[in-house]
Amino acid sequence: MRLPIGDITSRYDEVGNGPPVIILHGWGGTIESVKPIVQCLSHDYTTFAVDLPGFGESAQPPTTWGVLDYANWVAGFMDSVGCPRAHILGHSFGGRIGIALAAHFPALVDRLILVDSAGIRPRCTLVTQLRVYSFKGLRSLILLIPFPSWKKGAVRRLGAIFGSADYRNANALRDIFVRVVNEDLRPVLPAIQAPTLLVWGENDEDVPVAHGKLMAQEIPHARLEILAGAGHFSYMDRLPQFCRIVRDFLKEKVN
């Protein structure tokens, strides 16, 4: 299905019947990325899986969006589909958006589920610092060369050499990627009022489980479930266990 939200036309799927759950995929993902979660929950819930702006078949943001811009978009989506309040489930980058939504729009979020969620800016290791300084130094030298057309391509190639895989694959969303990965959401974690479940892969190398432990400490009503042997896509690696944990959490009575 297609839905215009502001200036952006987006694709979404609505499956199931029951209380609504908004499912937000990770960076580079699409509706298809979260289909195992949809299949897990749609027996008891109305699931809304979306192609976030710039991904899949949804239009690109008109400017360099940050995390709060994406959270505002989700709020607009919920209003457009007639959903005043919902459970929010976000994986990785989608977790960033879930954090911002729960912190800034608490009335919209019933329960929050963060799966291998990004959001805490990691400390720079010595290797990372060297890569950043090398990139900035070489870029400064390139910018001194008086050939504008060559200069732009050279800076792009430099980014491809020194950037992460996500950065290299970001293409037209590269400026957005740089902005969102540099946003540290740790200061807003204590503002989250919704009961929160954190699900993490024990062997997540993209967002280490230490970030999940920190989030569990700083979000007031949160608990962490670690899936043994799972990686960054823990919901795929341990799907039956993941489904059981999430369904049990959504059915728990709030004290």
- Give pLDDT, residue 149: 56
- Give pLDDT, residue 14: 98
CA dist 89 and 71 (Å) reads 13
CA dist 144 and 136 (Å) reads 13
Contacts by residues 228-231 (CB-CB < 8 Å, ≥ 24 positions apart): 228/202, 229/201, 229/202, 229/203, 230/200, 230/201, 230/202, 230/203, 230/204, 231/201, 231/203, 231/204, 231/205
Using an 8 Å Cβ cutoff, are 30 and 51 in contact?
yes
Q: How many CB atoms lie within 10 A of CB 162?
A: 16
Q: What's the pLDDT tens digit per position in 59-95?
A: 999 999 999 999 999 999 999 999 999 999 999 999 9
- Give pLDDT, residue 136: 45
pTM of the model: 0.85
CA 171 to chain centre: 18
Helix ranges, 144-208 (H)? 148-162, 165-169, 174-181
- Give pLDDT, residue 253: 82
- Give pLDDT, residue 171: 72
- Give pLDDT, residue 132: 41
CA dist 125 and 45 (Å) reads 43
**Collapsed DSSP state (helix, strand, coil) of residue 142:** helix
Give pLDDT < 50 ranges for the chain.
124-136, 138-139, 142, 155, 158, 161-163
Q: In degrees rounded to 5, what are phi and psi of residue 164?
A: -70, 170
